[in-house]
Amino acid sequence: MKILITGANGMVAKATAKYCESIGDEVVAATRQELDIADKDAVLDRLRRENFDAVINCAAFTDVDGSETNVEKCYAANSVGVENLALGAKEIDCAYVTISTDYVFDGANSGFYTQRDAPNPQSVYGQAKLDGEIRARNAYARSMIVRSGWIYGYGGTNFLSVMHNLLAEGKSIKAIFDSFGTPTFANDLAKRLRELAELDLPCIFHVTNAGEGASYAGFAEKVCELKGFDKNLLEYASADSLKRPAPRPKSSKLACLFSERLGLKPLPHWENALAEFLEGKRERG
């Protein structure tokens, strides 16, 4: 397949580009500097010039707290940009996969959120991502929305991606014990994104590693176990005690109603995926 991957400097984009290249795809990976998805003319021009089989949109404004004050920037990438790519994909009639988030849910449900649950985002980031989902589907009925959450991977700068480095340096970290999610290794997500681009079914998918999910503290404890780090470095804290600007769902574990019915294998259990990430083997290819 010839695939356009946007937001190419990002964690998921890098994993996706690497995976697609490894299976022989022709990958055009565009950074924000090369293709600003909020720029409609640039997006349409780029898509008209090249004949892609699929667009996988990994670009997003991912600063959840910063989105509370940078509302325009957040909506430009996470809502308008998602629509622009849908319009471009429609013009050239190609598959379109765009990533959304578990933060479209309010977190009141302590079980798993499926596609049957109504979104009710609490943060500007979550609202903009939901708006992006709706705009994409309205602009191009062939759009595939992939909701994921608690993503970590190589090159990632978020807490889940870097906590093992902090612990390795003997630094204490805050381990939140009352926020729950379904951890997702970017390399596993990347593979599924490619499978979905090929499947090309207009749908909302929930994609995470398998298992019952975890709290941040549970994830950190597993990192300690797997790497032999001192668990005394974990400072247990409640989510509220961090006083972060953006509200987060207390629980945003995702489950998918469609994947298995469509013959897609569940992603590896999150504990095995985490072990693989920490071993670093897949970083080298």
Ligand X SMILES: NC(=O)c1ccc[n+]([C@@H]2O[C@H](COP(=O)([O-])OP(=O)(O)OC[C@H]3O[C@@H](n4cnc5c(N)ncnc54)[C@H](OP(=O)(O)O)[C@@H]3O)[C@@H](O)[C@H]2O)c1
* Residue 280 backbone phi and psi in degrees, to 5: 80, 5
User: Binding to ligand X by residue 10, rule CB under 6 A?
Assistant: yes
Cα–Cα distance between 153 and 161 in angstroms, integer?
Answer: 6
Shortest Cβ 36–ligand X spacing (Å): 4
Single residue of 70, 114, 115, 158 touching ligand X by CB under 6 A: 158
Q: Does the annotation count 125 as an active-site position? A: yes
Q: What is the CA radius of gyration of the chain?
A: 18
- Please, which residue, 11 or 86, has the CB nearer to ligand X? 11
3-class DSSP assignment, residue 199: helix
Shortest Cβ 107–ligand X spacing (Å): 14
Q: Residue 22: which residues within 8 A CB-CB, separation 6 or more?
A: 285
User: Binding to ligand X by residue 37, rule CB under 6 A?
Assistant: yes
* Binding span for ligand X by CB under 6 A among 18-26, 147-155, 169-177, 246-254: 147-155
Are 250 and 103 contacting, i.e. CB atoms less than 8 angstroms apart?
Answer: no
User: Binding to ligand X by residue 120, rule CB under 6 A?
Assistant: no
DSSP for 123-183? SHHHHHHHHHHHHHHHH-TTEEEEEE-SEE-TT--SHHHHHHHHHHTT--EEEESS-EE--
User: Binding to ligand X by residue 193, rule CB under 6 A?
Assistant: no
Binders of ligand X in range 62-101 (CB under 6 A): 62, 76-77, 81, 99, 101
Single residue of 52, 61, 113, 185 touching ligand X by CB under 6 A: 61
Q: How many residues does the chain have?
A: 285
User: Binding to ligand X by residue 32, rule CB under 6 A?
Assistant: yes
The one catalytic residue in 19, 125, 140, 216 is 125
User: Binding to ligand X by residue 58, rule CB under 6 A?
Assistant: yes
Are 200 and 141 contacting, i.e. CB atoms less than 8 angstroms apart?
Answer: no
- Please, which residue, 131 or 230, has the CB nearer to ligand X? 131
User: Binding to ligand X by residue 151, rule CB under 6 A?
Assistant: yes
Size of the site for ligand X (CB under 6 A): 27
Q: List the beta bridge partners of residue 55.
A: 4, 96
Are 191 and 19 contacting, i.e. CB atoms less than 8 angstroms apart?
Answer: yes
User: Binding to ligand X by residue 11, rule CB under 6 A?
Assistant: yes
**How many Cβ atoms from other residues are within 10 Å of residue 138's Cβ?**
11
User: Binding to ligand X by residue 214, rule CB under 6 A?
Assistant: no
- Please, which residue, 79 or 232, has the CB nearer to ligand X? 79
Binding site for ligand X (CB under 6 A): 6-7, 9-13, 32, 36-38, 58-62, 76-77, 81, 99, 101-102, 148-151, 158
Residue numbers annotated as active site: 125
